[in-house]
Amino acid sequence: MTPFRNRCQLCYCRLQAGFIAGQQGAANAQLRQRHSTGKANSLRGAADQRLFSGKIERVHGCESRTPVFLEMEFKFSTRSSGKDAVYIIEDAKDAVYPKSLSETEIEYVRRMVKDDVSIIPINHYDSNLFIVPLPKCDSQELLAEKLRKKGADLCGRINALKLPEVTISNTSSFGEAAIHLAEGLALSSYQFLKYKSEPSKKENRLKTISFEKGTATKAQLADLQTVIDAVYAARTLVNEPLNALTAVDLANAFEKMGKDSGFKVKVLHKKAIEKEGMGGLLAVNLGSQDPPTFTIMEHKPAKALNAKPIVLVGKGVVYDTGGLSLKPTPNSMDRMKSDMSGAALVGAAMQAIAKLNLPLHIIALVPATDNRPGENAYVPGDVITMYSGATVEVLNTDAEGRLLLGDALHWAKRYNPELVLDFATLTGAASVAVGEHGIVCMGTADETVKAQLRAAGERQYERLVEYPLWSEYGDQIKSDVADIKNVGGPSGGAITAGKFLEHFTSYPWMHFDIAGVSFATAKRNYQTIGGTAFGLRMLLDFLQSYTA
Ligand SMILES: [Zn+2]
């Protein structure tokens, strides 16, 4: 391993600016001593050293364990807004062109539009213009999506030119065109550079998206700001690796988000979880050195439309090795820091809900732990007693998400909820079935709610595919020794996982399996590499249009 400049030689974390070589030598000596005083010795490698990360941080003063979320500013254009601009025009003869274009340039744009060129750049010495003809589409939903994708295309061009701000104008017939284009632009400009030695070299310059007056309303801008902030937050939480984000760190991050955005947060730590008897969460945590957490978040406005709360539940497996039913390393374990995508999604949703001050009483629950094959790990064959009192025969320790979700779904009963929505990277089966293009969902909510969810999914292009919860699938999780078992055999895996969860519900409920969509290994349009927050915009759209 080549030592990195400004990196700790022991645990490889980044050192504070100004932490010069001499200090580093002295600090490393201290560290070695600290590392060796713990029960894990240094031979066990870097993985165990994070056990002492609290101490290491005090020595180093390296970056805080609280994730810092990226920001993009949306505002109306002012005189100081740069000259760099994006013009959305009608794809027709009567298109209105920017005044700064000469006759020759307008002729050129007309020719390009005729040739179906998607984005037409016009570079002046003192400004960059991008002409975007409105795409032709059969439906509003598809049109919105095409504009988001054009935003992603623009993002590359704008950041290649290192422009810090662009102003969007819209003279097309589609009133929301600028909002959707800006949404795609902002979504694709997200980056996670925290661990790069020289982040400024890679950083996108674009920090502000301005709107020409009349191009969007104040409310649309506020909405967009809130949604993008939430997506950035969810992506960053997913992108943080386990050695920076344990279950306790995740709970701390939610506490900070609650403080900053104005929602209530209560965290149950290990002792309280034991006292409650959350057998599913505790079983998964047995093989870990780090304690579990159970986070309860609440937004309760004075005049809520719903008498009974809506409860969101997010799977918070901060890392999933599979436990003793160990996953193979390449292409499966290597992205398992994202197994808390459901937790990130509901936490970020609470941030947006509070900032928008939605007139709904909403509670979010996140059971969190990592799933490790440590010394005391639960084993296939174990029979555990869940929080509800139901017994579960564990036949695969990699089917852990449903165990902690079962406990959270049982907890939700105390609120007598109107609706419960859970988000979880639950099964490879869901991922295999619909890939990265949609969310597998299923549940017992009524048809009206399902239709509203589907419509929100179409509008945000985070589409839903509903699977059935036929009783026959329930037979697959019957156990010979316990009430149920945690795997249902090779067929219908996404559904048998859903049937398992259903066992712990007694209210209208929907389950969203986001295993296929939550993490991108390559950029896909406006989904950046890493956490995608896929499903979050659908959820927020649903809640914003919700009528109790
Ligand atoms: Zn698993």
19 and 84 assigned to the same domain? no
515 and 395 assigned to the same domain? yes
State the residue for tokens 């156990």: 479
Residue 528 is classified by DSSP as: P
How many A from CA of 429 to the centre of ligand 1? 12
* CA 186/CA 188 separation, integer angstroms: 5
476 and 374 assigned to the same domain? yes
Query: In this structure, is residue 295 part of a structural domain?
Result: yes
Length of the chain: 548
Query: In this structure, is residue 60 part of a structural domain?
Result: no
Domain that holds residue 38: 4-52
How many A from CA of 320 to the centre of ligand 1? 5
How many A from CA of 167 to the centre of ligand 1? 45
Interaxial angle between packed helices 401-412 and 493-502, expressed in degrees from 0 to 180 and rounded to the nearest 10: 30
How many A from CA of 399 to the centre of ligand 1? 5
519-520/530-531 β-pairing = antiparallel
Query: In this structure, is residue 181 part of a structural domain?
Result: yes
pLDDT, residue 57, reads 37
Contact call for residues 314 and 347 (beta carbons, < 8 A) = yes
> Which of 498-507 are b and which e, b meaning 16 or more Cβ less than 10 Å from the residue's Cβ?
bbbbbbbbeb
328 and 454 assigned to the same domain? yes
17 and 139 assigned to the same domain? no
3-class SS letters over 243-301: CCCCHHHHHHHHHHHHHHHCCEEEEECHHHHHHHCCHHHHHHHCCCCCCCEEEEEEECC
pLDDT, residue 64, reads 62
* CA 163/CA 284 separation, integer angstroms: 48
How many A from CA of 330 to the centre of ligand 1? 15
As given in the structure block, the two tokens for residue 12 are: 């490889």
State the residue for tokens 């030119």: 161
Query: In this structure, is residue 59 part of a structural domain?
Result: no
254 and 335 assigned to the same domain? yes
Q: How many domains does the chain have?
A: 3
Low-confidence ranges of the chain (pLDDT < 70): 1-64
* CA 200/CA 198 separation, integer angstroms: 6
45 and 150 assigned to the same domain? no
Query: In this structure, is residue 63 part of a structural domain?
Result: no
* Strand segments (E) across 96-203: 120-123, 128-133, 165-170
pLDDT, residue 20, reads 35
State the residue for tokens 């709904």: 360
Q: Which active-site residues does the annotation give?
A: 327, 402
266 and 374 assigned to the same domain? yes
How many A from CA of 144 to the centre of ligand 1? 35
96 and 242 assigned to the same domain? no
210 phi/psi in degrees, rounded to 5: -100, 155
Query: In this structure, is residue 67 part of a structural domain?
Result: no
How many A from CA of 404 to the centre of ligand 1? 11
* CATH number of the domain encompassing residue 88: 3.40.220.10
State the residue for tokens 């639960």: 378
In this structure, which residues have their CB less than 5 angstroms from ion ligand 1? 320, 398, 400
pTM, whole model, 2 decimals?
0.88
263 phi/psi in degrees, rounded to 5: -125, 155
Q: Mark which of 153, 182, 216 sits at the end of a domain.
A: 216
Which amino acid is present at 538?
Answer: M
* CATH number of the domain encompassing residue 295: 3.40.630.10
Please name every residue paired with 168 in a beta bridge, in sequence order, or none if there are none.
86, 211
* CA 443/CA 438 separation, integer angstroms: 16
Which amino acid is present at 244?
Answer: A
258 and 359 assigned to the same domain? yes
Q: Of 475, 265, 434, 448, whose CA–CA distance to 350 is shortest?
A: 265
pLDDT, residue 110, reads 92
> Which of 346-365 are b and which e, b meaning 16 or more Cβ less than 10 Å from the residue's Cβ?
bbbbbbbbbbbebebbbbbb
How many A from CA of 58 to the centre of ligand 1? 34
How many A from CA of 284 to the centre of ligand 1? 10
Interaxial angle between packed helices 53-60 and 21-37, expressed in degrees from 0 to 180 and rounded to the nearest 10: 160
How many A from CA of 336 to the centre of ligand 1? 9
Query: In this structure, is residue 57 part of a structural domain?
Result: no
132 and 173 assigned to the same domain? yes
As given in the structure block, the two tokens for residue 413 are: 């009963």
Query: In this structure, is residue 358 part of a structural domain?
Result: yes
11 and 78 assigned to the same domain? no
Q: Quote the distance between the C-alpha of residue 543 and its chain's center.
A: 17
